[in-house]
Amino acid sequence: MSTLTDLNQPNSSNAVETAAQPSNLDPKKAVFSLEEIQQLLPHRYPFSLVDRIIEYVPGERAIGLKNVTFNEPHFQGHFPGRPMMPGVLIVEAMAQVGGIVLTQLPDVDGSLFVFAGIDKVRFRRPVVPGDQLVMTVELLCVKRRRFGKMQARAEVDGQRVAQGELMFSLVD
């Protein structure tokens, strides 16, 4: 399987497979560190919203973590005295976890996936500094290797905070 990491790092033909699947893990589960996520996704501060991938099943799903801290720039104005993570950033964080699944599909060859649509998104409770956002994104379908649809949900302490369908399009 060709990976974005393979394209960015010559002479490391299986860097993701080796780093993401240590021998002590189930081969269908994998872990990606922040450094490995940054090799796969183009996002950088302040829009890098995934700290770690704790589970990854190729072509199916990924579970990612975002540690929400008071030091993040959006909390200065959203809202003074009652900081809450903006819903659009929760959706973006879920999409970045989905991006991990999409960038690892065969024959993607380092192309960029962007939002094509967002459906049925609902927010259930606020996300505040100190929370750990756990995002699960499952690939529903891929059409013509150009469009993807995913089901996403975000939880804090086992309580659902957001859910919805995310659509992606491949940009050449």
d(CA 99, CA 110): 12
Identity at 168, one-letter amino acid code:
F
- Active-site residue, from 52, 78, 125, 153: 78
**Please, which residues have CB within 8 angstroms of residue 142's CB and are 6 or more apart in sequence?**
105, 148, 149
102-133 burial, b at 16+ Cβ within 10 Å, e below that, comes to bbbbeebeeebbeeeeeeebeeeeebeeebeb
Tokens in use for 18? 């080796």
d(CA 38, CA 121): 26
Q: What are phi and psi of 94, to 5 degrees?
A: -60, -40
74 belongs to the catalytic site: no
**Which residues participate in catalysis according to the annotation?**
78
